[in-house]
Structure 1
Amino acid sequence: MTADPLLTFFLPAALGIIMLGLGLSLSLADFARVAKFPKPVLIGLACQLLLLPLACFFLAKLFGLAPALAVGLMLLAASPGGTTANLYSHLAHGDVALNITLTAVNSVIAILTMPLIVNLSLAYFMSADQAIPLQFAKVVQVFVIVLGPVAIGMWLRSRFPGFAERMQKPVKIISALFLLLIILLAVAKDWRTFVDYAPAVGGAALAFNLLSMAVGYCVPRLLKLNLRQAIAIAMEIGIHNGTLAIALALSPALLNNPTMAIPAAIYSLIMFITAALFGLWVNRVHGAELAHDAVPEQ
């Protein structure tokens, strides 16, 4: 795949706007919650950063995915939670403050963990001449593309809170449109591979999605977190930032491999349906407990 000008300029711009929208919704107080309420945050991060990559690795092996598709699924597993998880958690009566904190903290940690996990995946699934490592220069590029707009958004919110509040909704709408365009672009760039591998990748993506939500819900409950916190963590690690994974896979400056974007593209279509069904289920089964535990969100 050659350096397509559309990918060179559109993907960083799209990712920048998406991350700017995240920054507009964050403040330093969101990070302060880590110190104030460490247990649920640490449990959520442990599920996201440790359990999910391991589970994803075994699923990629179980489904016998082609090397590039296996790396793409691992790239998705290494991606932080998507900001849409906040909305789904709110609709399902989860702890939205916990979602915001996990999204913020994990987005920062992922800058270090994503290159590590992707490099290990490339080394395991692909031969040395096929691998396209995320070298230090690439890590710096990811850092600038991802954290730069987040920092700008947070600064705008701190200096111009009214403007930031007004801009959150239009930026979210634009971000959703960019997500759709990026998914379509990912499919169009490698349509033949998408058609050939969609059945296998679809099964692996669905299995990974269901396992992610199950881990996010069951582990916190076993560790005595309340229901609202378990819902929040399930949404957070079940709704991955597919946009980020697709952008990194497609970008000529980074992995430059459209096949690696296919698992994230398919997962991004699946996760919104399963998250909605999970929200309906948990409220139907545990509605009384949620009403009893309901407290004003921070």
Structure 2
Amino acid sequence: MQIIGQLLAIVFVVSTMLGVGMLLSVREISSSLTDRGWLARALLANFVVLPALAFGVARLFQLDPMLTAGLMVLATAPGGPVVIKLVALAKGEPAITVGLLIIVLVLAVFSQPVLLPLLLDGVHVSAQSIVLTLIFTVLLPLLIGLVMRARLPYWATMLHNSVQGISTLCTVLICILLPAVHWQELLGIIGSHAFLAAFMFLLLACLAGWLLGGPQPGRRRVLSINCAQPNLAAALVIVSQNFTDPRVILMLLVILLSSLPILLPLCLFYARQEQAASRTAN
């Protein structure tokens, strides 16, 4: 079952990134990121603020080193592909969401292998393994999707819904399968402050994105959702290849379970705000 969970995570990342590349053209994505001030704040939030928040939360709750490792792996893996689905639920801007996602995913290929060894004192991770994982599961499918969109737009449009359907199915299965497999272990770490740490990290990440999002409500919402949804699937793949202690993957599952009661109501709230703003404008 654990192997199936890992395979689902890989299929989810690959299919989602392939679908992301097929979604919009390079011109549409680049034109949505002309606000350099907002982009700079978004990168600051993803690559500086999130790891700092995770580090601070781990110290505050004195988390077990392996639980801390899970939190730090996730905090240094920005750009969860599922953010596209969440922003769509929130009636947000798809172009700017995909543009930011592509940029942070590409930068994460180079930043995460550097940051993790610095933040995880005494914990060994393979930088080469992380780089290869991110290149083949994130960067390469994304580039294939972009090329298909540019060179074979008809097939990209035809295949996009099928690829996104696979991604959605994998998301649902991961949310059900992994907690079902590890439910006993999850119960066993209830007293370790893992859930409290996860809730605090996600709430602070969401708040940081909102504060750094700037004056435009739409972009503020996008960055808020983006910061509260790091790349869980990529983190699962990285953890499975670099750690043998089950507590690391348990922390990822804790964050997954903690994110649902935060992000789903938040996206619905943002959707109502957007609908109200549209009615007022009309």
Provide Cα deviations, 1:183-242, integer angstroms capped at 9, x if missing partner. 556546655532222452222111111111111112224xxx211110111111112221
Write the distance in 2 (CA, Å) between the matches of 1:201 and 1:139: 28
Tell me if structure 2 keeps the 8 A contact 1:187–1:265: yes
Q: Distance in 2 between matches of 1:280 and 1:134?
A: 39
1:252-291 correspondence to structure 2 within 5 Å? 254-282=242-270, 288-289=276-277, 291=279
- Partner AA of 2:239 in structure 1: A
Q: 1:122 to 1:87 in 2, by over 3 A?
A: same
Deviation at residue 27 of structure 1 after TM alignment: 3.3
Distance apart, 1:160 and its partner CA: 1.8
1:72 counterpart (70, 73, 77): 70
Q: Which whole-Å CA distance do the structure 1 matches of 2:6 and 2:224 have between them?
A: 34
- 1:94-119 deviations in whole A, cap 9, x for unaligned? 33322111101000011112122221
TM-score (norm 2): 0.85
Q: Contact (CA 8 Å) 1:186, 1:261: kept in 2 or not? A: no
Aligned-partner Cα distance in 2 for 1:172–1:289: 29
TM-score, normalized by length of structure 1? 0.81
Deviates more, 1:269-278 or 1:107-116: 269-278
Counterpart residue number, 2:185: 193
1:226 to 194, 216, 219: 216
Unaligned runs of 5+ in 2: none
Tell me, in whole angstroms, the C-alpha distance in 1 between the residues paired with 2:104 and 2:86.
18
1:165 and 1:208, CA in 2 relative to 1: closer, same or farther beyond 3 A? same
CA distance in 2, matches of 1:268, 1:80: 14
Q: Which residue number corresponds to residue 178 of structure 1?
A: 170
Which whole-Å CA distance do the structure 1 matches of 2:30 and 2:160 have between them? 22
Contact 1:95 1:231 in 2 (8 A): no
| Equivalent pair of 1:250/1:258 in contact (CA under 8 Å) | no
Give RMSD over aligned pairs: 2.9
User: What's the offset of the Cα at 1:162?
Assistant: 2.1
Instruction: Give the 4+ runs in structure 1 shifted more than 6 A.
Output: 7-10
Cα distance 1:260–1:180, how it changes in 2: closer, same or farther (>3 A)?
Answer: farther
Identity among equivalent positions (%) equals 24
Q: Output the amino acid matched with 1:94.
A: G
* Unmatched tracts of structure 1, length 5 or more: none
Cross-structure match for 1:46: 44
Matches within 5 A, 1:154-173: 154-173=146-165
**1:207 corresponds to which letter in structure 2?**
M
Judging changes above 3 Å, is the alpha-carbon distance between structure 1 residues 284 and 202 closer, same or farther for their aligned structure 2 residues? same
After TM superposition, the structure 1 stretch with the greater mean CA deviation from structure 2, 264-273 or 76-85, is 264-273
